[in-house]
Copies of this chain bind each other. A is one copy, B any other.
């Protein structure tokens, strides 16, 4: 235990700015050549994780209103990154899914950001990297709480 006397609020206010700063830099590493907005990229990510979804569901998961998601999906569809397929049982709905091209673009973007991070992780000592490795499940727990 390094200093468990230190209070939880102090840990929070020390951790917050570091996390926000690092996340901001990671987000800036979007490939400027592949012009996808943050929300477009994020929507592709949800589709990769969850498979095909109706527009409304996708909007709810992204905390965006349905009309906004209509726009986002239309833009992605025009670029061939997603496709709409009509729901056979309810003709009001159509499910949105990644195309093969969309999957590739998304994964390439992630690789790019991972590479940026990996370069920086390589400057650490092995034990520092190990510390981060063990911190991951803890951060996940914070996220889930």
Chain B residues contacting A24 (CB-CB under 8 Å) are 23
Q: How far is the CA of A145 from the CA of B132 in the complex (A)?
A: 16
Chain B residues contacting A143 (CB-CB under 8 Å) are 18, 21-22, 25
Chain B residues contacting A129 (CB-CB under 8 Å) are 4, 8, 11
A17 CB to closest chain B CB, in angstroms? 9
A9 CB to closest chain B CB, in angstroms? 5
CB pair A22–B141 under 8 Å, yes or no, is no
Q: Which of B1, B6, B12 contacts A118 (CB 8 A)?
A: B12
Q: Contacts A22-B143, A120-B145, A129-B4 known; A16 to B135 CB distance under 8 Å? A: no
Is A50 part of the contact surface with B, judged by Cβ < 8 Å? Answer: no
CB pair A19–B11 under 8 Å, yes or no, is no
CB pair A140–B18 under 8 Å, yes or no, is yes
What are 6 inter-chain pairs, A to B, with CB distance below 8 A? A11-B132, A18-B143, A20-B27, A23-B24, A132-B138, A135-B135
**Other 11 A-B pairs with CB < 8 A, given A2-B133, A19-B139, A20-B27:** A1-B126, A2-B130, A6-B133, A9-B115, A9-B118, A18-B136, A23-B23, A120-B145, A123-B145, A128-B141, A132-B138
